[in-house]
Structure 1
Amino acid sequence: MKLNHANLPVADVPAVKAFFTTHFDFTALPMQGGGDKFAVLEGEDGFILNLMQAKEAHITGTESGYPKNFHIGFFVDTPELVREKHAAITAAGFTANEVEELKRGGFSSITFYCYAPGGILVEVSSSN
């Protein structure tokens, strides 16, 4: 079985779409209709990320509305790629914590967390 897609309600579809296409190599699939209220993004591995205009009042331009600790995680091949991604994201003006070594469940990683538009927490890590 393979995870096929995730659907994220977001406050600003174009901003979140730009974040994931620019910094995480997603491709926006051509669509008819939807405008700025819906986007379908495809990852390099075929994973589909749907972005849908949030109708809920608790999802705003600065608050994601997702539960505490909800996040999207990306795994890259090397610690150097984690550092490169961190540099690119912070240079683009996004908030990110420092790159750090984490040990969780016997697994060691080089990791950082950042926020996509709308407050969506994103993790980028590599095995150490």
Structure 2
Amino acid sequence: MKLNHLNLSVTDVPAAADFLEQYFGLRKQPGDKKSFCALFDDDGLVLTLMKAKNVAYPATFHIGFGQESEQRVNELYQRLKDDGFEMHPPQRSHAWTFYVQAPGGFTVEIAA
């Protein structure tokens, strides 16, 4: 059995979709609206974003994007930092990892 889709409630659908497309290579479905967006990865996952007035995920909730190397984690960290995102630098935990608050109100982990 394979997980094929996940839905996130977000406060800003276009900003969240653009973030996921720009930094993680997800592709938006043509004709998306401000209240809903479907994004696709290369492995068949569909990530949908739905507009919500307030988003209150538990503190430990996050989605993750695995990277092929620690160098790639470092590159994404620097790119996000250069673009104005505030986050702690990568550190050794369960992997070489860092977390970033995404536009729309959810957290993303980047790890290798």
What is the TM-score when the length of structure 1 is the normalising length? 0.82
Q: Could you tell me which runs of 5 or more consecutive residues in structure 1 were left unpaired when the two chains were aligned.
A: 104-108
Task: Report which structure shows greater RCO (CA 8 Å, sep ≥6).
Answer: 2
User: Does structure 1 conserve the Cα–Cα contact (< 8 Å) formed by 2:35 and 2:51?
Assistant: yes
Matched, 1:83 2:74: yes
Superposed structure 1 runs of 4+ greater than 3 Å apart: none
The structure number with the bigger radius of gyration is: 1
Count the aligned residue pairs: 112
Q: Deviations over 1:48-101 (max 9, x none)?
A: 1101111xx5x2xxxx41112100111111000000010111111112211101
Counterparts of 1:11 and 1:19, CA distance in 2:
13
Identity of aligned residues (%): 38
Q: CA RMSD in A?
A: 1.3
Counterpart secondary structure, 1:70: coil
Q: Could you tell me which runs of 5 or more consecutive residues in structure 2 were left unpaired when the two chains were aligned.
A: none
